Amino acid sequence: MSDSKLLKFVGNHIRNFRQLQGLSQENFAFMCDLDRTYISDIERGKRNVSLINLDIIATALKMPLYKLFLNLPNKDLKLDFESQKTYKINNCFQIDCGFSLNAKDIAHSALITSIQLEELPFSLFDNIDLKSLSGIIGAFFISNLADKANAIVNPIEKGHPDIIPIYGKDATEKELRHFPVGLEIKCTAGNLKTNSISNIGEQRLNNITSLTWQAHHREVTSLMGLVIDFSGSIINGKKYPIITGAFYSNELNVNDWGKISRITGRNTKVTGMLVSGKKKMGKGWIILLNKKDYILKYKSIFKFNTH
């Protein structure tokens, strides 16, 4: 890599990480005790920054220095949080579930999740199924959103809900299994047309006929549902998985969930959301990948309007 390309490469990383943390250039320069013009030159690849100042910048970003040099793939998806280009955002979305959240918090956490996924070798995705993939993406997102909300991930594996207020760290295991406030989050990659095949790294959108989320019991009344697809950065002809939509409802009831499946082999009992529940989720759309085909598909499936 030439000197000029290296400077632009590192500068782009610094700008993206700064924006993902919601920091203005001026505030970030103040945190680093550096001049704003100096930071601007670095981000534009116009300044041959010293290693000492790079370490100061990485510290301000709360990340190890090496991450500024990660050889991430060329971006097919531009991570630009401040201009909100990556996601269409429902600015009316605002909830308090023991901690406050708005649509920008959800977009912020989804973008950070995208960066984290791209730090993983693609061979990992080649060797896991969609259920495991949904679990990995959900775990990243839940952790990122908990940090953003100044909350915590439920400390026990079978705890409900997934994110709880920070005072929940002192709760007992019994209390954590059914904590009274918080946010439950589920992921789906969607159901495909009959006889259609979707390989890892290939966009699924055109072959998706429906989107549903599953739960382990029918008493789930509040849920944030994420949708994932292979629509991120491209590496060796394959696309990284990203979050392409997020929906929410706190009006679900037992009639919005199907019958509990039987337990067979290693599978645990699950129930799938019915059409009535999906309509409620659609009305509570939070973010949508800002690409026309995704917006039209999700509007068609969930029967909602955007402004």
| pLDDT number for residue 8 | 83
| pLDDT number for residue 4 | 78
For residue 42, the tally of other CB atoms under 10 A from its CB is 23
Q: One digit per residue, pLDDT tens: the chain, 307 residues?
A: 566 778 888 888 888 788 777 788 888 999 999 999 999 999 888 888 888 999 999 899 888 887 787 654 444 444 444 434 689 999 999 999 999 999 999 998 998 888 888 878 888 898 888 989 999 999 999 988 998 898 999 999 888 999 999 999 999 999 999 999 999 999 999 988 887 778 899 999 999 999 999 988 888 999 999 999 999 888 888 999 999 999 999 999 999 999 988 655 545 678 999 999 999 999 999 999 999 999 999 999 988 777 6
Structural domains of the chain, with CATH? 3-69 (1.10.260.40), 87-302 (no CATH)
| pLDDT number for residue 183 | 97
| pLDDT number for residue 267 | 54
**285, 278 in Cβ contact below 8 A?**
no
What's the token pair of residue 292?
Answer: 């026309």
Q: Where would I find the H helices in the chain?
A: 3-20, 25-32, 36-43, 51-60, 103-118, 122-126, 130-149, 173-177, 275-283, 292-302
| pLDDT number for residue 13 | 83
Interhelix angle 3-20/36-43, rounded to 10 degrees, is: 120
| pLDDT number for residue 78 | 45
| pLDDT number for residue 240 | 93
| pLDDT number for residue 244 | 96
Whole-model pTM: value is 0.75
